[in-house]
Amino acid sequence: MALVMNNENEGLQHRRGFIGRDLIGIAVIIAIATIGYFAFPDNLALLTRMITIALLVLSLDLVTGYCGVATLGHAALFGSGAYAAGILSAHYGINDPLLMMLAGIVGGAVAGLLCGAIILRAHGLPQLVLSIALIHLFHEFANKASSWTGGSDGLSGIAPDPVFGLFEFDLYGHTAFFFGMALLLIVFVLLRVLVRSPFGMLCRAIKQDPLRIRAMGASPKAALIRMYAISGAVAGVGGALNAISTQVVGLDSLSFTQSAEALVMLVLGGTGSLFGALSGTVIFMLFEDYVSAANPFHWLTMVGALLIAVVLFAPKGLYGTAAAFVGRRREQRS
């Protein structure tokens, strides 16, 4: 009886610890957003762009960090969500931001199911090859379907209505920024619940030892495809937000470069940690913005030097390495 009580107390303490860290993390996200809002009042478009890319990197972390699936084509999910939201507005005249967001979620989830079903037929390097092939196929399909997507000229004519009929999307980007922050916080909280759920733990176990999971009677492929669909829905939120905030969708949303940069941001912050995905996105995009403005001709060299330094001296990513250091200090104190 005493042992059961001790286990229950330990479980309760762990849950309280998780909730406490989540609340602290959410408070930090809100604080950083507030600082950014007042520090960059004339460049809210950059902050909104960070939010859209952060959603893409979060979705990538679900399949790469938590499931161990190698992919360089995740922008296919992001672009599918962007085009789904944009087409709903430009071709059907449905301009409600929430309905456009729903279309983006559905578009991203469908693309996630399709990509997952194909990519998960292979392992390791063949997965990378399949993901690269898929992103190029999505890009070329969008280019050829110019009557729907606008092709190389981009999809224009997107005119979102005010949010809840009250908050218009102004030229200064205030509404887009706050709308994006609300979406990011909602998605982040839901994903924190997801990765600690039994399904999230199953995906982590599949990453560690898929053979043992199969021997226990579970289907690793079915679980990974479900996670891919969820990942696609999250990426679709980012794509739809990008379409709503910029009111145009270009082929760059389906580019290989977009996928590669998302993976770089994830590695920079740390895989297998949603906080790492967010921190990597913010650090990379701010560094890229400042360095490209300071040295337009050699900024890629400085970005490359940063990435090499992180990989060599912080292989778990900046957030992952910092979290591991704090964990070791706590163990030493206890």
DSSP summary character for residue 247: S
The model's pLDDT over 279-299, given as tens digits with 9 standing for 90+, comes to 999 999 999 888 888 888 778
Closest to 302 (Cα-Cα) out of 33, 180, 294, 222? 294
- Whether 181 and 187 have beta carbons less than 8 Å apart is answered as no
The region of weakest confidence among 21-25, 160-164, 281-285 is 21-25
The model's pLDDT over 243-277, given as tens digits with 9 standing for 90+, comes to 999 999 999 999 999 999 999 999 999 888 899 99
- Residue 235, pLDDT above cutoff 90: yes
Query: What does the alpha-carbon distance between residue 173 and residue 71 come to, in Å, rounded to a whole number?
Result: 32
High-pLDDT (> 70) share of the chain, %: 94
Q: Calculate the average pLDDT of the chain.
A: 89
> pLDDT class for 184, splitting at 50, 70, 90?
very high
Q: Which residues have C-beta within 8 Å of that of residue 78, sequence separation ≥ 6? A: 56, 59, 108, 235, 236, 238, 239, 242, 253, 254, 258
- Residue 145, pLDDT above cutoff 90: yes
Q: What is the pLDDT of residue 175?
A: 93
Mean pLDDT of 300-321: 86
